[in-house]
């Protein structure tokens, strides 16, 4: 069982540490508070990587065709 801090988890997920903290607070990412720091189990991090929703808005057909043109 490998434990990571916020900075290491952010590097693994490809996001900023500032984004990881709300994920922990909202329950999207499982972790535990140890004093003032968060610790995240590496296995929980892998679960989030595979089940993270797509980011951004989907392209409209007009925008997609405009890019291709």
**Is the full-model pTM beyond 0.85?**
no
Residue with tokens 């069982």: 1
Cβ 13 vs Cβ 7: under 8 Å: no
Whole-number CA gyration radius for the chain: 16
Percent of the chain exceeding pLDDT 70 equals 90
**Residue 4 C-beta-side C-alpha neighbours within 13 Å:** 20
Maximal C-alpha separation, the chain? 56
Rounded Cα distance between 67 and 2, Å, is 44
Across 15-36, average pLDDT: 90
Residue 1 has pLDDT above 70, yes or no: no
**Number of helices and strands in the chain (H, E):** 4, 3
Residue 11 has pLDDT above 80, yes or no: yes
């Amino acid at each position: 069982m490998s434990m990571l801090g916020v900075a290491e988890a952010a590097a693994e997920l490809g996001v900023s540490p500032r984004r990881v903290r709300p994920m922990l607070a909202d329950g999207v990412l499982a972790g535990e508070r140890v004093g003032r720091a968060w610790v995240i189990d590496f296995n929980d991090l892998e679960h989030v990587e595979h089940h993270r929703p797509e980011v951004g808005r989907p392209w409209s057909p007009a925008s997609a065709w405009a890019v291709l043109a």
